[in-house]
Amino acid sequence: MGFMPNFTLCFSYLQCRNREASPLAEPPLRHLGALVDRVGARHVATAGALTVAIAFAFVAAGARSLVWLIVGMVLLDLGNRASFIANQARIYALRPEARSRLNTVFMVSYFLGGAVGAALGGAGALHAAWLGLAAIGALLSLAAVAVNTLAYARSSSAVADGHA
């Protein structure tokens, strides 16, 4: 299914409007910080990355149905925000007195990662259309889950060995 340029522009506009209105329109997202406090940043970051990976399955199906594309976009937004808030909580816990410097490094890394992901996703779309884009997105999301899991395993073993 090919979308006309005007449709793509309207879809992008609606996504931007969703970002502006989200603090008012999406009550579950306002509670992500409390969820991080309750279950831990690692769990929320992992759940967010898994949600993004699942979202890309819907994005792949979005090639045939606008409904699946919209479901995919909502899940992408939710998973990305959950991971963002959880990871921000993690970096703030490192050195509370250096929050602004840590946030600067975090945001630069976040946007550089987004740029690399967009370039890779574009290459995937160029070579395999929707399925290529979705495959790259899912792989990157699952890579985030793996890194998160391995980092936790390494830090847990260091604590158990008394090296933390």
Evaluate whether 52 touches 75 at the Cβ level (below 8 Å): yes
Q: Domain range spanning residue 141?
A: 5-159
Distances (CA, A) of 2 to 66, 97, 98, 135: 11, 51, 48, 18
- Assigned domain for 124 exists: yes
Indicate if the alpha-carbon torsion angle 113, 114, 118, 121 is positive or negative. positive
Domain count, the chain: 1
Residue 112 lies in a domain: yes
106-138 residue pLDDT tens: 999 999 999 999 999 999 999 998 899 999 999
Q: Is 153 contained in some domain?
A: yes
State pLDDT tens for residues 6-15: 566 666 666 6
Report yes or no on 164 lying in a domain: no
> How far apart are alpha carbons 155 and 85 in whole angstroms?
21
